[in-house]
C-alpha cells in the first residue's frame, strides 16, 4: 500500500517539487498539502500549485488534518512553522521529516520534545551527495589534523532567508567532530575590519547570496604548501526532494519508534 504523505510548505520551491515527485512515485500517495493561513495557494489544487498541468484532487489547506490516515509528514517551511508542525505530528502520532533550517534553540527543543513521542528525521540537507560530503569532510579533517586551516564557503539564491545555510553548519559540525572541537567555540561567521591574526583552531563560515544558485558548498583545508578542497554543487532541487521522500519511506517502512534520526542513517553511513 502506498504511504499517505502530507507536504507542508506546499507552494514553496521545495514543496512544489515534493508534490510533483510524490505524484510520480507509486510507493507514495499525496494525502494533503498545507500552506500558511491566508496564503494565495490555499483552496487551490496541489497539482495546479506544483505546475503539473493536471489536478491531483488534493486541495491546499491551512492545517494538517486530523484523522486522515497519514503515514508521514514532510516539512519544508519556515523555522517557527516547522516546530509547530513537529508538535502537530506528535499529537497525531505521525512520523515527520523536517528539511527546514534556521531553527532557534527553543524550536530545536520543541522538535526534540516531539521526537519523544514520534519518529523525527531532521536533516540540514537531503542530498545523497551532500551527506556523503559530511562523512568525507569529517574523515579528511581527522586525517589532516590540527595544522590545517578550515574555511567553508556556501552560495545560494538571493531569496534564501537564513544564513549561513543549514548545510554549511552541518558541514562545519562534521569537520569540528573530526577535529574534536566544539563548533560554538571556534566558528567565525564572515570577517570584517581589523580582526587580527587568524587563531589556528578557527573554522570560518561564509555565505554568498546571488541569482538563482540552488546550492554550492566548499570546505577548504589549507596549510603552507597545499590546499584540499571538497565541493558539492546542486543544479536542481529535485536532488533534495528525492532524498526527503526517500527518508520518509525509510522512516515508515522500517517501523522506527520515537526518536531523532538522521539522513546518514537512511544511507547507511552510520
State the Cα–Cα distance between residues 233 and 77, nearest whole angstrom. 22
Per DSSP, which regions of the chain are E strands? 3-8, 28-34, 60-61, 72-75, 96-98, 119-122, 149-156, 187-189, 203-209, 215-223, 226-234, 259-261
State the Cα–Cα distance between residues 159 and 200, nearest whole angstrom. 34
The residue annotated as part of the active site, out of 85, 122, 156, 217, is 156
**Considering only CA atoms, which of 245, 266, 248, 255 is closest in space to residue 24?**
245
CA distances from 4 to 9, 55, 60, 153 (A): 17, 17, 15, 38
| Residue 206 is among the residues annotated as catalytic for this protein | no
Q: How many CA atoms lie within 13 A of 216 on its CB side?
A: 14
User: Using CB atoms within 10 A of its CB, is residue 89 exposed (0-12), middle (13-18) or buried (19+)?
Assistant: buried
The residue annotated as part of the active site, out of 160, 201, 206, 256, is 160
* Residue 41 phi, psi dihedral angles, 5° rounding: -80, -20
Q: How many CA atoms lie within 13 A of 235 on its CB side?
A: 0
| Residue 217 is among the residues annotated as catalytic for this protein | no
In sign, the C-alpha dihedral spanning 62, 64, 68, 70 is: positive
Active site members: 156, 160
Amino acid at each position: 500500500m502506498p504511504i499517505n504523505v502530507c507536504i507542508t510548505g506546499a507552494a514553496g520551491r521545495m514543496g512544489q517539487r515534493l508534490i510533483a515527485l510524490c505524484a510520480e512515485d507509486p510507493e507514495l500517495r499525496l494525502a494533503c498539502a498545507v500552506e500558511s493561513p491566508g496564503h494565495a495557494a490555499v483552496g487551490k489544487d496541489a497539482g495546479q500549485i506544483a505546475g503539473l498541468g493536471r489536478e491531483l484532487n488534493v486541495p491546499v489547506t491551512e492545517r494538517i488534518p486530523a484523522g486522515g490516515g497519514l503515514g508521514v509528514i514532510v516539512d519544508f517551511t519556515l523555522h517557527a512553522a516547522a516546530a509547530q508542525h513537529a508538535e502537530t505530528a506528535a499529537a497525531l502520532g505521525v512520523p515527520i521529516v523536517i528539511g527546514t533550517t534556521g531553527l532557534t534553540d527553543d524550536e530545536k527543543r520543541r522538535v526534540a520534545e516531539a521526537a519523544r513521542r514520534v519518529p523525527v528525521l531532521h536533516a540540514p540537507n537531503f542530498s545523497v551527495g551532500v551527506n556523503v560530503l559530511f562523512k568525507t569532510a569529517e574523515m579528511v579533517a581527522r586525517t589532516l589534523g590540527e595544522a590545517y586551516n578550515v574555511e567553508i564557503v556556501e552560495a545560494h539564491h538571493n531569496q534564501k532567508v537564513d544564513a549561513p545555510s543549514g548545510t554549511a553548519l552541518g558541514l562545519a559540525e562534521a569537520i569540528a567532530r573530526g577535529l574534536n572541537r566544539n563548533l560554538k567555540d571556534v566558528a567565525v561567521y564572515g570577517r570584517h575590519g581589523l580582526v587580527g591574526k587568524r587563531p589556528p583552531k578557527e573554522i570560518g563560515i561564509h555565505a554568498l547570496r546571488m541569482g538563482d544558485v540552488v546550492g554550492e558548498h566548499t570546505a577548504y583545508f589549507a596549510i603552507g604548501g597545499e590546499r584540499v578542497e571538497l565541493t558539492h554543487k546542486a543544479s536542481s532541487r529535485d536532488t533534495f526532494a528525492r532524498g526527503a521522500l526517500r527518508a520518509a519511506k525509510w522512516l515508515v517502512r522500517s517501523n522506527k519508534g520515537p526518536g531523532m534520526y538522521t539522513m546518514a542513517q537512511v544511507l547507511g553511513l552510520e
